[in-house]
Amino acid sequence: MSTHNLEDMGCGTSSVKDTRSEQVLKAALVIQNWYRGYSTRLKARQRYALTIFQSIEYADEQGQLQLSNFFSFMLENYAHIHEKDPEIVARLFGSTLQDYKDRQDYVAFVDVPNSYNGPRLQFPLTFTDIDLLVDAFKQQQILHARYVLEVLFETKKVLKQMPNFTHVKTSPSKEITICGDLHGKLDDLLLIFYKNGLPSGSNSYIFNGDFVDRGRNSIEILMILFVSFLVYPNDLHLNRGNHEDFMMNLRYGFTKEILCKYKIHGKQILQILEDVYTWLPIGTIIDNEILVIHGGISESTDLNLLHRVERHKMKSVLMPPTPLDGDPDTNVKKKKFNATIVPGEVKTSASHSEQLTKHEWEQVIDILWSDPRGKRGCYPNTSRGGGCYFGPDITSKVLNRYQLKMLIRSHECKPEGYEICHDGKVITIFSASNYYEEGSNRGAYIKLSSGMAPRFFQYQVTRTTCLRPLYQRVNAIESSAIRILRERIIARKTDLIHAFQLQDRSKSGKLSMSQWAFSMENTLGLNLPWRSLSSRLVTTDTNGDINYMSSFQDIHIQKPVKELPHWAEREPMGRKTGAIVCRGDEKVRAERREAQSTLIETLYRYRSDLQIIFNVIDSDHSGLISVEEFRSMWKLFNSHYNIHIDDFQIDELAERMDLNKDGSIDFNEFLKAFHVVHKLDKLNKSGSGLA
């Protein structure tokens, strides 16, 4: 073979290798681009799911704040409420009653039996008691009611000596750890202690509010934090959040948790807790440079006033000051602010008024409920219904006014557990991982020391040793989000159908995508990307038009059949019994069916509000109210919320709810009977039954 041929063969081999390498590189780039696109789509789905969760959460909080107006309305309109039940007035508006919250009245008569094998606390408390509680709660033991009451009374006694803002110092050798919302998630607190150590004289903590509600272990978290606070009052600091509030607890689960775990002494525990909440400090200032509060600020935030305000008068952040017994409505004009913060002990002497002024109340609401936004200025927090949105200019203005450098706050779930905004001047820290659903978000805490940049530590509690793949986590989060969104949709079915029909002028049963999205947002007000979500909520035809009744497919509200009135069986109004029913009555029947659907949807939609109202009336936590109280309250609710339900429907509903015909209604059981049934649930139950 010639040299020329060998060279040709060599060149050919090199050319083939180059071609193959090029093909491999192209394939790798194709796979890489595909994966990037796939990952981006997954993250977009996760982001949409979190948006759904957050929008519905904030809408619920908005509804909760609207209840405050109802209670003011109730006080004005509920006949002789002062004479009939002055305890309701005291509970809602903080008016003075005889001080029944005496320690001996609660603790002295609660014995710990020899059969109790849970943790036994020794007063005065020591570090050993913190260890004891942590170990006991890991084993799911319940702390006896006597110890709970003792801890609450001791905590209140120490808190009463504290100022509104705790001032703490750090050094390069002494850091402080800041934790955000825990919301009853004990596993997150235990994981923080595992990674970062238990509180001690050399390991300081700030817990920035929202210790309770939503999770299953709020009382366990409170006990660990309060016992730690009593052992290390100078090294563990507690700020009040918007959920340290008995009205919030009624809606979001903590009240129910207490009454379930402490069936005999739950009422007493709840009464003392209401008091303890009011004495929690409302903020912490680190090294005179960093402000730590639960929510945020507004353009009118006055830290000097907030240092002086009598915080224990804030019974519930949901109850605005209401003039009682002729008290004038104090509407304080805004004053000019000083350039420095003036620390001061809170006043504990008796005051002429048992309430904050309206201006003071608004100041506290702002720091507990506000959220930062990228837009400049200060404007109403329409999502939550309370506090404000504050922009980067407001942050700079308030921090400069009080010679501060940074604001650390919580109050908002963040996918990574924390978020930095406003040019690094605002940090949000959130410590409850898996807040909405397993895998929905990470938790985090911050470590700070003088002269050092904040350090962030992230984590995520998981039941498994190996984290599930991203696509599985996103599928689970998305399914859960769509599920609660569909429940929101079915609760407004009648309103949505009316909105759809207004757009559907040709009565085709179909709408364009933009018409459907407009109707959904205009009715539900959730500020969601409806176009992007449409594929999970409705069916479309080949032209892209939406069959709008498919918005309600495979889902309905399960009602307590025995309890609900059967108006369809009643004679048409104005017709004598026994009259012949003609086809003209079909319209009447249709109207009755619509009225019944409206009532069912209304009861389902407002069931949380109604449960709170009835729980407030039910001051002895018996779970029962009289039929007459039910009628009176519902008619007031009907009037205040502008709900179009006829009085005869309310009367008959009350009669049906009085199952024993003893004049009392178990409203909790009745309202729990309303729930949404998904077709998938039925299929799963059928499948498991066949198996």
Instruction: Kindly tell me the burial class for residue 345, based on how many C-beta atoms sit within 10 Å of its own C-beta (0-12, 13-18, 19 or more).
Output: exposed
**Which stretch of DSSP H or E encloses residue 555?**
strand 555-558
- Please give the structure tokens belonging to residue 114: 């020899």
140 phi-psi bin (left φ>0, alpha ψ -120 to 50, beta other): left
DSSP H helical segments within 78-122, as ranges?
81-84, 86-93, 103-107
Q: How far is CA 307 from CA 244, 283, 363, 364, 620, in A?
A: 19, 9, 11, 11, 35
Coarse DSSP helix, strand, coil percentages of the chain, rounded to the nearest 5 percent: 50, 10, 40
Sequential DSSP letters for 407-429: EEE--S--TTSEEEETTTTEEEE
* C-alpha to C-alpha distance for 586 and 582, rounded to whole angstroms: 8
Beta bridge partners of 428: 409, 419
Instruction: Kindly tell me the burial class for residue 583, based on how many C-beta atoms sit within 10 Å of its own C-beta (0-12, 13-18, 19 or more).
Output: exposed
- Please give the structure tokens belonging to residue 580: 């012949």
Residue carrying structure tokens 């905590």: 155
Q: Considering the candidates 144, 183, 243, 411, report the single residue annotated as catalytic.
A: 243
Extract long-range pairs of 263-267: CB within 8 Å, 24+ residues apart: 264/145, 265/110, 265/145, 265/148, 265/149, 266/145, 266/621, 267/620, 267/621
Residue carrying structure tokens 């619509």: 594
Asked if 673 contacts 559 with a C-beta cutoff of 8 angstroms, the reply is yes
The alpha carbon torsion through 638, 361, 325, 349 (nearest 10 deg) reads: 150
SS3 assignment, position 526: coil
DSSP state of 678: E
Residue carrying structure tokens 């108006």: 567
DSSP state of 639: H
* C-alpha to C-alpha distance for 280 and 536, rounded to whole angstroms: 44
SS3 assignment, position 392: helix
- Of how many residues is the chain composed? 691
Sequential DSSP letters for 213-235: SSSS-HHHHHHHHHHHHHH-TTT
- Asked if 243 is an active-site residue, the reply is yes
**Strands 378-380 and 388-390, how do they pair?**
antiparallel
* C-alpha to C-alpha distance for 369 and 242, rounded to whole angstroms: 7
Residue carrying structure tokens 């003075």: 96
* C-alpha to C-alpha distance for 274 and 313, rounded to whole angstroms: 11
Asked if 86 contacts 96 with a C-beta cutoff of 8 angstroms, the reply is no
SS3 assignment, position 34: helix
DSSP H helical segments within 94-185, as ranges?
103-107, 127-138, 145-159
* C-alpha to C-alpha distance for 388 and 267, rounded to whole angstroms: 34
| Residue 342: closest CA among 295, 309, 368, 387 | 309
**Strands 443-448 and 455-459, how do they pair?**
antiparallel
DSSP state of 312: G
**Strands 539-540 and 546-547, how do they pair?**
antiparallel
Return the active site residues. Answer: 243
